[in-house]
Structure 1
Amino acid sequence: MLFIVGINLTKAANASVMLGTIPIWVALLSQFFTEEKLTPLKTIGVLFAFFGVALIVAGGNNEISFKSDTFLGDIITILSAVVWAVYTIFSKKYLKFYNSTQFSAFMALIGFICLAIIGAPSLVELEWSSISPKAYGGLFYSGTLSVGIAYLIWNNGIVKIGAVRTATYQNLVPVLGLIFGVIILDEVLTLFQYIGALSVIAGIVMARLPVKKIT
C-alpha cells in the first residue's frame, strides 16, 4: 500500500533505487532482531547488488530527482522498503511454526481485509463495466502471480536461505526487467545497464557463498 502511494508521488527511477535498499535494511535490522549476522561477503554482496540497481536506473537515462515535488513520494517509498524489510525479518520467526503455504495464505487474508477496508470507497465509485478484459487479465496476473505465488516463493526462500540472502534477490527485479525489455520490446541496453546487471548478479552470488570456518 505504501509503495503504491509512494510511486504515485515520485519518479519511477527514484522508486527503483529506494526499493533497491531493501536488502540493506534487512541486513542492518537482522543484526538486532535475528541470529542471522552479517559476514563480510554478505555485506559486500548486498552493496554490490544495490550499486547494480543504481547503475541500471542511471544507465537507462532515467532522471533521478530528489526535488521538493518528489520528496514526499521518496519518503513514503523508502518507508515501504523498511516495512518490507521488517516483514521479511519477522516472517522467519513465524515460519518456524507454520509452513510457507500456511503463512502466505494467512498474510494474504490479512492484506485482503486491510485493503478491502481502505479501498471500499473507491470500489463503490468504480464503474465496473468500463474495465476492459485486458485490465482484468492484468489484475489476475498481479493477484495470482505477482502477489500469491511470489509471496509463497519469497517466504519459502526465507526458510531455506535466510532473510538477508533472500532479500538480495529483490534486486533481480530490474535485471529481469532489462532482459524481458530486450526480448519483448526490442529495447537496446546501455553499457551501464550491462555493468549494473552483472553487479547485481555478482552481489547475489557473493551473498550466497558459504562462510568457510577456520579450523
Structure 2
Amino acid sequence: MKNKNFLAYASALGAAFFWSFSFIWFKIAYLGYEPITVVIFRLAISAVLMGVIAGALKRFQLPAKKDIWLFILMSLFEPFLYFIGESYGLMYISSTVAAVIVATIPLFTPVAAWFFHREKVRWMNIVGLLFSFIGVGLVVLNGSFRFDASPLGVALEFMAVFAAISYSIVLRSLVGRYNTMSIIAWQNIIGVVMFLPLWLGFEFQDFISKPFHPQAFRAIVFLAVFSSTLGFVFFTQAIRNLGVNLSNTFINLIPVFVAILSFFILKDNLGIQQIVGIVIVVSGLFLAQIRQRRKKSSLGTMEFSTQRKG
C-alpha cells in the first residue's frame, strides 16, 4: 500500500514537472510556427506514440457506444479548449504569469469535484491550497507585487483553467473503465480531428510557405513526448489513485518548476522572495495532505463497503 501511494504521488509530481516544461517549449516552438500548428503536431505525434505503445502491449481499447460522448466531451475540454486558451494566451503574457494562472486550478477544482462526484472537501485541504497559492504568488510576482499582464492573455489562460477543471471531472468518469494509454490516445486523436479544420483554414498556408525550423520543431516533439504523453499518463494514474482534488493540488508546483527552469534555461532571476515562495508552496502541499493521511483507514473501509454494495 505504501508503494502504491508513493507511485501515485510520484505520478502527480511527474505530471506537474513535464507540464512545467511545456511553458518553455511553447515559447521556443513559437520561434518557427503558429499556435495551432504547434498544437496539432504535438497531438498527432502523441496520438501515434500512445497508439503504437498501447497496440504493442495489446492494451488499446475501443470506447463503448455509451462512452463515446464522454470521450468527445473530454477531448473538447482538453486538448481543444485548454490548448486554445493556453497556446494563444502565451502569445500575450509571460510563461510565469501563465503558470500562476494555471495554479488556480486546485482552488476551483474542489467545488466542481464535490458537485459532480461528491468528493469531500476538507478544511485542511482548502487551507493547504490557499497557503500554497500564496507561495505561488511570491514565486511569480516582482518585488513590488505588481501584476502587469495583457487582459486578453489572462482571459485566455483562465479559459484554459476552467477547461482543465472540466476535463478532470469527465476523466474521473472514464478512468475506472479504460486504461491510461487508451484514454490518452483517444483524447489526442479526437483533439487532432477538432483542430484540423482550424489549422487548414487559418495556418496551413503559412506552414507550407515557411522553411523548416529545427529548433522549433524539436520543441514540438518534446511537447508531444513529455507533456502530451508522459504528463497525461502520470496525471491519469494520479487521478485513478488520489482523486481529482489531491491530484490537482500538485499543479501548484508548476509555477515553481517554471521559475526554476527559467532560471537555468532562460537565465531569469531567482531571488530570495521566489525561494521563500517555493518553500511555502511545498508546505501548502503537505498541509493539504495531513488530514487525508489521518483518515486513510476509515476511508479505505468506506470504499470497501461501497464496492461490496455494487
- Category of TM-score, reference length = shorter chain: 0.7 to 0.9
Distance 1:61 1:147 in 2: 36
CA contact (8 A) 1:16 1:53 kept: no
Distance 2:143 2:190 in 1: 37
Which residue of structure 1 lines up, in the alignment, with residue 283 of structure 2? 202
Determine helix, strand or coil for the equivalent of 2:294: coil
- TM-fit CA distance, 1:59: 4.0
Determine helix, strand or coil for the equivalent of 2:90: helix
Unaligned runs of 5+ in 1: none
- TM-fit CA distance, 1:183: 4.3
Distance 1:154 1:60 in 2: 33
Which residue of structure 2 lines up, in the alignment, with residue 51 of structure 1? 134
- TM-fit CA distance, 1:167: 0.8
Distance 1:100 1:115 in 2: 22
Determine helix, strand or coil for the equivalent of 2:282: helix
Q: Does 1:92 align with 2:172?
A: yes
Distance 2:216 2:262 in 1: 21
Pair member with larger Rg: 2
Unaligned runs of 5+ in 2: 1-83, 299-310
- TM-fit CA distance, 1:190: 1.3
Q: Percent identity?
A: 23
CA contact (8 A) 2:93 2:153 kept: yes
- TM-fit CA distance, 1:43: 0.6
Partner AA of 1:196 in structure 2? G
Residues 132-152 of structure 1: per-residue CA shift (max 9 Å, x gap): 222221110011111111111
Partner AA of 2:198 in structure 1? I
Query: Normalising by the residue count of structure 2, what TM-score does the alignment of the two structures yield?
Result: 0.62
Q: Does 1:189 align with 2:270?
A: yes
Residues 92-115 of structure 1: per-residue CA shift (max 9 Å, x gap): 111111121211111111112112
Q: Does 1:16 align with 2:96?
A: no
Q: Pick one of 66, 85, 88 that aligns with 1:2.
A: 85
Distance 1:148 1:63 in 2: 35
Which residue of structure 2 lines up, in the alignment, with residue 150 of structure 1? 231
Matched residue pairs, number? 212
Distance 2:144 2:220 in 1: 30
CA contact (8 A) 2:86 2:157 kept: yes
Distance 1:54 1:107 in 2: 32
Query: Normalising by the residue count of structure 1, what TM-score does the alignment of the two structures yield?
Result: 0.87
- TM-fit CA distance, 1:200: 1.3
Residues 56-98 of structure 1: per-residue CA shift (max 9 Å, x gap): 11147785136xxx22332221121011011112211111111
Q: Which runs of 4+ in 1 moved over 6 A?
A: none
